[in-house]
Amino acid sequence: MALRRSVLSLMNTRKASLRLCGAKNFSAQAEPKEEEKRKTHFGFETVNEDEKTKKVHQVFETVASKYDLMNDVMSFGVHRLWKDIFMLRLAPTPGTKLLDMAGGTGDITFRYLNYLKNQGLPATDKRSSVTVCDINQHMLDVGKARAEKQGFTKDTSVDIEWLCADAENLPLPDDSYSAYTIAFGIRNCTHVDKVLEEAYRVLQPGGRFLCLEFSQLPNNTMQWVYDQYSFQMIPVLGQLIAGQWKPYQYLVESIRQFPHQEKFKSMIEEAGFRQVTYENLTFGVCAIHSGFKI
- The model carries a pTM of 0.80
What's the CA angle centered on 119, arms 199 and 126, to 5 degrees? 55
* Other beta carbons less than 10 A from residue 207's beta carbon: 23
Strand partners, 179: 98, 208
What's the pLDDT at 72?
Answer: 87
What's the pLDDT at 11?
Answer: 44
Cα–Cα distance for residue pair 133/165, rounded to 1 Å: 6
pLDDT digit string, tens, across residues 90-126 = 999 999 999 999 998 899 999 999 999 888 655 566 7
β 274-281/286-292 pair status: antiparallel
DSSP for residue 121: P
Which string of DSSP letters, residue by residue, matches 278-290? EEEEGGGTEEEEE
Cα–Cα distance for residue pair 268/293, rounded to 1 Å: 11
Strand partners, 288: 212, 279
pLDDT digit string, tens, across residues 27-59 = 344 444 544 567 664 555 565 666 666 656 566
Averaged pLDDT in 10-residue chunks for the chain of 294 residues: 42 42 39 56 57 61 70 89 97 95 94 90 76 94 92 82 96 98 93 97 98 93 92 88 81 88 97 98 95 96
**How far does Cα 153 stand from its chain's mean position?**
26
